[in-house]
Structure 1
Amino acid sequence: MQPIVSISNLSKTYASGFQALKAIDLDIVSGEIFALLGPNGAGKTTLISIVCGLVTASDGTVTAGGHDIVRDYRAARSLIGLVPQELTTDAFETVWATVNLSRGLFGKRKDHTLVEKLLKQLSLWDKKDQKIVTLSGGMKRRLMIAKALAHEPRILFLDEPTAGVDVELRRDMWDLVRGLRDDGVTVILTTHYIEEAEEMADRIGVINNGELILVEDKNELMRKLGRKALTLHLHEPLDAVPEGLGTYALELSGDGTELTYTYDTQGERTGITALLTDLSAANIRFRDLHTEQSSLEEIFVNLVSDSR
């Protein structure tokens, strides 16, 4: 399958000499939700801005829907919707007029039914006649999404889309994004809310210091890089971990009543089976157990720390 967005050897160096992006290669598949994670200044917004035609690359190529974003920018740009990190709107225009104007800027015929649907989906319908200056920060963020969707793009970039949005509305927006994906829209988002990526993304990309250090299916990433901890609640406390169990990463609680085994998810079955066998041989019994798995946030923090 041909990727809907294809980025090859993309670099950006500013006049100051700062290199924001370093030879980025990335293909994004049609109909997926792709989350781009990275700390502040990692290059996320620069990458999105280049693809959307707002910043000029120093080197490399980008295509959107098979159209080169430089040579065939009109066709490429018509496929793309962008929700920028910064809120940029005409403060004294109404919600209704702003969304309709955004559609018209792409040469689309008026479609009041579509605009009404967008505003209702984003809980803005009752604000349609209000001036933007009167809206809260969260409402303005939703308005930016409505503007980006007004011309029915097939590729949607969301740069920190839920910043400043309350938890309940954030989940409503997640549902909207999933609905867009189900309709065939490809969604690329950057976020500081790691749970947002964990909840929604099909694939994860991690960028740091301008370099794309990892691209992986979310579930596969958590399987390969995640770690689990098995905690055993012992029948009788131990003074120390027996020498015969020294090959396992075992940690004994201060009161000796809990034994915790930490392991990576790839070695789950053989590791646990062997441990339980060896515990039985050592006459160590337990009355209960529970497991915990590392979150995407922990994996992300470790990846960024290792790449510094």
Structure 2
Amino acid sequence: MPAVSFQNVSKNYATPRGELQALKGVSFDIQAGEFFGLLGPNGAGKTTLISILAGLSRASGGHVRVHGHDVVSDFAAARRQLGVVPQELVFDPFFNVRETLRIQSGYFGIKGNDAWIDELLEGLGLADKAGANMRQLSGGMKRRVLVAQALVHKPPVIVLDEPTAGVDVELRQTLWQFVSQLNKTQGSTVLLTTHYLEEAEALCGRIAMLKKGEVVALEKTSDLLSRASSNVLRFKTDHNLPADLAAVARVTGRVVQLPAHNAAEVERILARVREAGVAVDDIEIRKADLEDVFLDVMSGASATTAPMAPMPPTEEVAP
């Protein structure tokens, strides 16, 4: 039995411009014990799907089950199987951290939960903040408390919706260390949405990609990366690239990244750059990563073919 099952899930919204279809027949299963990634650009339908899973929104069609419990007809049992960390910072300003976790335990009818609360506080770096009022905490500390609240009833399925958005490196490392331990030692199923694709690549065994409410890729992370057969030439420059290179380059500030399938293509790119009078530094060649695959899939190319657009041929320069 899958830990989470989405079967032909659709969601429509009425808008002044007519009906908007946020989800279009989404179907996939997440097996027990998986660390599963759900990726997509803003507006792809990720949060809508999670809201339906958590019972915050109702699907227009299809079914969602958590360990066999339908989230609509058997909602109480389904909720007990889930621990959801939302994107937004939501907290009660009238209680301290420990009180907040005790109250959360009470929502699930759990008494005498202090030993597990202590373990959560220690594991998430909140032990010294246990008596602090929620209003006194920084944004990063509040997010740690949200994670603790989601885990306080020991749910077998953990849903993390952009859990590290806008937080420092220390929190990211602490969170992933703790959640990975739950996944490996206790067999917790983890569903992660994130825009930090290096996190998804490092943590997730399987990934689904959503685009405009539809699943456009669903594979093991290793299989997605194995199809990324090209290399990427990376360098820095303060100059504009020639038009033919700019058309296929990914530029972030001074950093330029270009697909280069082999050594001959690397040489051709660098020759073209020199010919155009573009000064570069910090040149390196790396393997294509999940971000390259993601951008290719979102651009409409097949995930089962080359992950980045090939370089256009350059004109031969007469000697």
CA distance 1:117–1:224, change in 2 (3 Å):
same
Contact 1:226 1:295 in 2 (8 A): no
Secondary structure in 2 aligned to 1:129?
coil
Secondary structure in 1 aligned to 2:227?
helix
For 1:115, the equivalent position in structure 2 comes to 117
TM-score, scaled to structure 2: 0.77
After superposition, residues 117-132 of structure 1 pair within 5 angstroms as 117-132=119-134
Rounded to whole Å, the distance in 2 between the matches of 1:152 and 1:84 is 17
Equivalent pairs counted in the alignment come to 260
CA distance 1:154–1:255, change in 2 (3 Å):
closer
For 2:290, the equivalent position in structure 1 comes to 296
CA distance 1:124–1:254, change in 2 (3 Å):
closer
For 1:252, the equivalent position in structure 2 comes to 267
Encode CA deviations 1:166-197: one digit per residue, 9 max, x unaligned.
Answer: 11221121111111111111000100111110
For 2:10, the equivalent position in structure 1 comes to 11
Residue type of the partner of 1:194? L
After superposition, residues 83-122 of structure 1 pair within 5 angstroms as 83-122=85-124
Contact 1:79 1:155 in 2 (8 A): yes
For 1:208, the equivalent position in structure 2 comes to 211
Rounded to whole Å, the distance in 1 between the matches of 2:11 and 2:156 is 26
Residue type of the partner of 1:301? L
C-alpha displacement at 1:253, in angstroms? 4.8
CA distance 1:193–1:254, change in 2 (3 Å):
closer
Deviates more, 1:297-306 or 1:152-161: 297-306
Rounded to whole Å, the distance in 2 between the matches of 1:185 and 1:212 is 24
C-alpha displacement at 1:110, in angstroms? 2.3
Secondary structure in 2 aligned to 1:142?
helix
Rounded to whole Å, the distance in 1 between the matches of 2:82 and 2:180 is 17
Residue type of the partner of 1:168? E
Encode CA deviations 1:63-99: one digit per residue, 9 max, x unaligned.
Answer: 1001111111111110000000011110221100101
After superposition, residues 127-206 of structure 1 pair within 5 angstroms as 127-182=129-184, 183-206=186-209
1:217 to 215, 220, 242: 220
Residue type of the partner of 2:202? E
C-alpha displacement at 1:111, in angstroms? 1.2
TM-score, scaled to structure 1: 0.80
Secondary structure in 1 aligned to 2:191?
strand
For 1:271, the equivalent position in structure 2 comes to none
For 2:29, the equivalent position in structure 1 comes to 27
Residue type of the partner of 1:293? K
Secondary structure in 2 aligned to 1:23?
strand
C-alpha displacement at 1:229, in angstroms? 5.7
RMSD of the alignment, in Å?
Answer: 2.2
Gaps of 5+ in 1: 232-246, 257-289
Contact 1:10 1:21 in 2 (8 A): yes
Contact 1:9 1:61 in 2 (8 A): yes
C-alpha displacement at 1:305, in angstroms? 1.3
CA distance 1:178–1:298, change in 2 (3 Å):
same
Encode CA deviations 1:255-299: one digit per residue, 9 max, x unaligned.
Answer: 76xxxxxxxxxxxxxxxxxxxxxxxxxxxxxxxxx9621011111
Rounded to whole Å, the distance in 1 between the matches of 2:70 and 2:13 is 22
For 1:46, the equivalent position in structure 2 comes to 48
Runs (4+) of structure 1 exceeding 6 A deviation are none
Rounded to whole Å, the distance in 1 between the matches of 2:267 and 2:291 is 26
Rounded to whole Å, the distance in 1 between the matches of 2:138 and 2:68 is 39
Gaps of 5+ in 2: 235-261, 272-283, 303-319
Rounded to whole Å, the distance in 2 between the matches of 1:254 and 1:113 is 60
Residue type of the partner of 1:201? C
For 1:264, the equivalent position in structure 2 comes to none
Rounded to whole Å, the distance in 1 between the matches of 2:172 and 2:105 is 25
Rounded to whole Å, the distance in 1 between the matches of 2:269 and 2:196 is 34
